Structure 1
């Protein structure tokens, strides 16, 4: 334990310096979805590469993927010890609507022991924790207790569009014994969680076209199809009144929750009334027969993310719109396949297309669900590491979000994926005023220092 304490003391003594370094990274607007920020995305990759080089990591490289670059680095001198592949991402979501930010999204600001900036919680902050801890170990001891490879990508927020094909071509370079990811959430402010399952993702856009152009509602109203009404009718057909998904075959391959899993969810003590109050809701909604927590983490969904068409400016414009659109995402669970689900949704859309409406179904991002065996020593060590830093036993749970690369790593490299997150569900990732708890910044450093130091001993139990 002395070796861990030495690293922890170093991290404590350099805490302000580390926080300033994270602020530097957060100030770079690395928005992967917007072409005007392509240069900023590369600048963030270069910042990370420089940081890794300065810390003493080797073979640091910006690897070209066909899209935004991936940062690779390694340290492979721990003979006979396991190799950890550390995954994270340095790209961030767009910041709209900008007017809802209390402070500018790329001017990192501390308020009430929270660090506010786009990417603070998802995923620059948690990724930086790994860089900081491993760099401290090299500084203090001159070596690492394990072998390490970094895979820090710049396209996670756009579905890791090029990563799967890239990893297929370079899998030998990324070969490891386990993957460590901190892009998941904790259950609560002092309740760490080892995530052993993620939902998959299938996304699409529906484009509806009727007439050749918008039409005057006085001259043509009552005689021609309305694209906005048509898309609304399609969207309304996706769910039954009880909240279940009405797409034929949608649930056919869903792996049921086991009684043991449902018991674990029940132990989390999730209060649905508190959830309603926190979200300012009068009621909850969704598939019957499951708790809200089960529906959010371990059941499949079909959501409408956006719907638009026709006149949206101030005042009135009496037109019948000729086109309208909707964006959809499905969160998937084992054993649902993204392409099969999109097939079913497309067939449903075409069956429910109103007369006079031409519907185009455009497939977008996808990713398979993932579930790991949580009795693996590497996952059990994660719980011990959390307890060391937080003084609280970690829970094992699934997360409702999707990290498509997890399934990619699992399928290509055939190794366990350990997900240790330090973010909280209410930290507004993907929304205005994203923030990261400085308490979790500090405890996250201690958690990871323990994990890396103790991993060789735990691995020997495998």
Structure 2
């Protein structure tokens, strides 16, 4: 019997028990952003530790950080074989607005072969799959084909503020040959994908201050600068009518898309017309000369996320507001540095601010972009494991979003990162009625188990970046 047959038998025999165990995990309201759930965070960490212990993982610990704890464990008996570091998170997003949930966010329920609960897809369900894949291999074969380490944190949903320090202080403990993360999605239903790159992120808030207070528009209008007009003038200067960002030096270090990658994206046959209909917009919009996938995967952005100031209630109020502001985020691509981009934004704002107002810029979250070449053997091995189980070709994609800690892993540990996701974009992670398609839970368990065997075929030198 080969390993896939052994895995299949184990997962079929234990499926009901595994689903009930996952439900127990999902019942814990481990919301990292809310201080009243601190005890729940500890409870979730302890639950996960016990699950790893039952699976056969050793050297387990709940490690303190400056914030919520980190769970570590390993199995290191595959002498001479590569070591995989599995990363995930046990914290979840807040559940508001609660009234939009069709069932309780922490009362897991299966409907139409989908498991509904906060964290079902992001990321408890996907972390749980790695635990059970290891458990199946150890119980069915008595060992693992590779060495495995687990690093599961509790602050991903608040930007992983404590994890980078933990990684720096535990480099030797976390040493491995590659990092595997299941916190991303597939290309579509029945269409597996390996994500080999993520965009980075930086954000700022612009605050425009005019007079000492709101002014009567009849008495002062036309003679005093209006902060809203000033703000609009600055915001309009960021992009031209074709969507090209006009901040000086913004594109200087952008890494060009290779012909091979462009051909791979074209082969996906993305339907832009269908997207337009799904979103109910008259036309799509993006930087000229690039397809929608290229615009959202491999090109940088500058987007307005919110504008505020003045009167917005019912009716009209004839004032010049004293203040106005906007929130802006940029998605960044390989070779762009968030710190440098923020400085370029500040210089652009200073250059284009109108007279008569004071403008201040506040910096927010920053995360570097990440990429592992899609021809890397660890990436291609993941594609083969997907194809064995799903029986369709694997897509090799980049993600338009950001997981800042991925770049930290890349920078501190200098390891290839493989993003093997099993979620779907339609699963409402971060929104009411989050759910996980159980067919991807079932097939994903087998993919993960097979991937460990795929990696066992390589020497450690072959897996180096």
Query: Which deviates further from its counterpart, 212-221 or 363-372?
Result: 212-221
Tell me what 1:382 maps to: 382
| Deviation of 1:298 (Å) | 0.9
Tell me what 1:64 maps to: 64
Report whether the alignment pairs 1:257 with 2:257. Answer: yes
Contact 2:73 2:151 in 1 (8 A): yes
Tell me what 2:110 maps to: 110
Tell me what 2:334 maps to: 334
Over 3 Å counting, the alpha-carbon distance change for 1:432 and 1:312 in structure 2 is farther
Q: How does 1:60-139 map to 2 (within 5 A)?
A: 60-139=60-139
| Deviation of 1:272 (Å) | 0.5
| Deviation of 1:10 (Å) | 1.4
Over 3 Å counting, the alpha-carbon distance change for 1:90 and 1:222 in structure 2 is farther
Which SS does the other structure have where 1:301 is aligned?
coil
Tell me what 1:404 maps to: 404
Contact 1:4 1:453 in 2 (8 A): no
* 5+ long unaligned stretches in structure 2: none
Q: How does 1:276-355 map to 2 (within 5 A)?
A: 276-312=276-312, 319-355=319-355
Over 3 Å counting, the alpha-carbon distance change for 1:455 and 1:203 in structure 2 is same
Contact 2:254 2:336 in 1 (8 A): yes
Which SS does the other structure have where 1:325 is aligned?
strand
Over 3 Å counting, the alpha-carbon distance change for 1:280 and 1:29 in structure 2 is farther
Report whether the alignment pairs 1:193 with 2:193. Answer: yes
Q: How many residues align?
A: 462
| Deviation of 1:144 (Å) | 2.0
Contact 1:203 1:363 in 2 (8 A): yes
State the alpha-carbon separation in 1 of the partners of residues 327 and 184 from structure 2: 25
State the alpha-carbon separation in 2 of the partners of residues 100 and 305 from structure 1: 23
Over 3 Å counting, the alpha-carbon distance change for 1:46 and 1:204 in structure 2 is farther
State the alpha-carbon separation in 2 of the partners of residues 320 and 298 from structure 1: 41
Question: Could you say what the CA RMSD is over the residues aligned between the two structures, in angstroms?
Answer: 2.2
Tell me what 2:52 maps to: 52
| Deviation of 1:290 (Å) | 0.2
Contact 2:87 2:181 in 1 (8 A): yes
| Deviation of 1:219 (Å) | 5.4
Tell me what 1:248 maps to: 248
Query: Which deviates further from its counterpart, 154-163 or 90-99?
Result: 90-99
State the alpha-carbon separation in 2 of the partners of residues 15 and 284 from structure 1: 43
Over 3 Å counting, the alpha-carbon distance change for 1:137 and 1:326 in structure 2 is same
State the alpha-carbon separation in 1 of the partners of residues 119 and 220 from structure 2: 49
Residues 22-41 of structure 1: CA distance to partner in whole angstroms, max 9, x if unpaired?
22222333333333433333
Tell me what 1:366 maps to: 366
Contact 2:185 2:421 in 1 (8 A): yes
| Deviation of 1:389 (Å) | 1.2
| Deviation of 1:307 (Å) | 2.4
State the alpha-carbon separation in 1 of the partners of residues 437 and 129 from structure 2: 13
Tell me what 1:40 maps to: 40
Contact 1:378 1:459 in 2 (8 A): no
State the alpha-carbon separation in 2 of the partners of residues 24 and 324 from structure 1: 47
State the alpha-carbon separation in 2 of the partners of residues 324 and 46 from structure 1: 46
| Deviation of 1:275 (Å) | 0.8
Tell me what 2:446 maps to: 446
Which SS does the other structure have where 2:74 is aligned?
strand
Contact 1:159 1:366 in 2 (8 A): no
Over 3 Å counting, the alpha-carbon distance change for 1:65 and 1:79 in structure 2 is same
Query: Which deviates further from its counterpart, 63-72 or 211-220?
Result: 211-220
Report whether the alignment pairs 1:211 with 2:211. Answer: yes
* 5+ long unaligned stretches in structure 1: none
| Deviation of 1:343 (Å) | 0.7
Over 3 Å counting, the alpha-carbon distance change for 1:119 and 1:356 in structure 2 is farther
Report the TM-score when normalising by structure 1.
0.93
| Deviation of 1:44 (Å) | 2.4
State the alpha-carbon separation in 1 of the partners of residues 34 and 313 from structure 2: 25
State the alpha-carbon separation in 2 of the partners of residues 311 and 37 from structure 1: 37
Residues 386-419 of structure 1: CA distance to partner in whole angstroms, max 9, x if unpaired?
0111011212222211122222112222222111
Query: Which deviates further from its counterpart, 14-23 or 386-395?
Result: 14-23
State the alpha-carbon separation in 2 of the partners of residues 157 and 238 from structure 1: 29
Tell me what 1:426 maps to: 426
State the alpha-carbon separation in 2 of the partners of residues 123 and 331 from structure 1: 22
Over 3 Å counting, the alpha-carbon distance change for 1:365 and 1:380 in structure 2 is same
Tell me what 2:436 maps to: 436
